[in-house]
Amino acid sequence: MLKIGSHVSFSDKGLLSATKEAVSYGSSSFMIYTGAPQNTRRKPIDTMFIEEGNEAMAAAEIGEIVVHAPYIINLGSYKSSTYQLAVDFLQEEIRRTHALGVRNIVLHPGAFTDKDADYGVERIAEGLNEVLNGTNETEVNIALETMAGKGTEIGRSFEEIAAIIDKVQHNERLTICMDTCHIHDAGYDIVNDLDGVLRKFDDLVGLNRIAVVHINDSKNPIGAHKDRHTPIGSGWIGFDAINRVVHHEALAGRSFILETPWVGKDAKTQRPMYEVEIALLRGDVAGRFGNGFIREVEELSSFFKKQEIDPRAFVLDIWSLLKNDAKAKKADPREPLERLFDLVTEASLFPNLSEEQINHRLIAWLASAK
């Protein structure tokens, strides 16, 4: 069974509430933080409803899940206080991950800030050695995430990832989280040459190290080094390319995790598109939403065809406009999905559907376009 899910919250009832949220999206895997990703405040792990969560996971046939390390960890920092916080906090997060029964904790490798990339690679490897030596009682792997290359972050190339691994003593406990948005933004052409990208990764790092794949579309063209996610099909990568990633035989058996942004006009009512994205990538939209949903997507297709709107051309043209024309962006900053939503509501096409329901159908329409 395809192990696919999304990032979910880890709130008051810990693993139990996280599992219930994941089930609501139709997930067969999911990713959590063990606390807020922006700070070090943590509730005791034994208060996180682990037993109840595991029972709920078993009932939903959810097996392997993933933990993500907090963003504030920077093993690449030259500042001793920042570096030591990163080492100590990551060790604690590994122990919490172990208590949850999870095998992989995803980590942004780090940033070299005022130094250089060579320093960053050395410093991160030094930190990983210290972290792994201090947690050798666990079976948790650190999944280094491939990065987009914004700012001074390390992990923007397969070569940098390989260099870190080569310098780590217990590198059998290093796995990889490959992020589709990140490697696209870093300059790897997964749209037109996925096989070539995977071959290069295998040559430099090894496909056997990939444990997790983050599946996100990108708001920016290849090589932009921006790292701005967008729902599947509404960005520069597109549904077909991401679908090929998810079903590629070289990546079979991995956990595929969505980190796409929530969408909606009102920040208070914004919702993720996880449920429809998972159903589309699983190839089970009718089973999840019913045949009426399919008919309404077909209505959307007819509606946009009459207006001579080609989905891929529309999406890419709007992103190009927003990137290259400052005056146009200032006059109308709406992103592609929002513009499509406005066209549908202005035409009163589905007056009885909620904003979330209309967006679900738009995502499905973008995915079905050839």
- The rounded distance, in Å, linking the Cα atoms of 51 and 315 is 45
Binding residues: 68, 108, 145, 179, 182, 214, 227, 229, 259
Binding residues for Zn(2+): 68, 108, 145, 179, 182, 214, 227, 229, 259
Report the predicted TM-score, pTM, of the whole model to 2 decimal places: 0.96
166-198 pLDDT, tens digit per residue, is 999 999 999 999 999 999 999 999 999 999 999
Tell me how crowded residue 99 is: count the other CB atoms within 10 A of its CB. Answer: 16
Tokens, residue 299: 């209505």
Which residue type is seen at 284? D
The pLDDT value given to residue 142? 98
Tell me how crowded residue 328 is: count the other CB atoms within 10 A of its CB. Answer: 12
- Which residue positions in the chain have pLDDT lower than 70? 370
Give, in order, the Cα–Cα distances in Å from 341 to each of 35, 47, 345.
34, 42, 6
**3-state SS class at 369:** coil
Report the candidate in 239, 265, 273, 269 with the shortest Cα–Cα distance to residue 335: 265
- The rounded distance, in Å, linking the Cα atoms of 36 and 21 is 17
CB 237 within 8 A of CB 218: yes
The pLDDT value given to residue 128? 98
Tell me how crowded residue 121 is: count the other CB atoms within 10 A of its CB. Answer: 24
Domains in the chain (CATH in brackets) are 4-282 (3.20.20.150), 286-367 (no CATH)
* Residues written for the chain: 370
Phi-psi region of 49 (alpha: psi -120 to 50; beta: other; left: phi over 0): left
- At residue 218, what are phi and psi to the nearest 5 degrees? -125, 140
269-315 pLDDT, tens digit per residue, is 899 999 999 999 999 999 999 999 999 999 999 999 999 999 999 99
Tell me how crowded residue 159 is: count the other CB atoms within 10 A of its CB. Answer: 12
The pLDDT value given to residue 370? 57
102-113 pLDDT, tens digit per residue, is 999 999 999 999
Secondary-structure percent of the chain, ordered helix, strand, coil, rounded to 5: 50, 10, 40
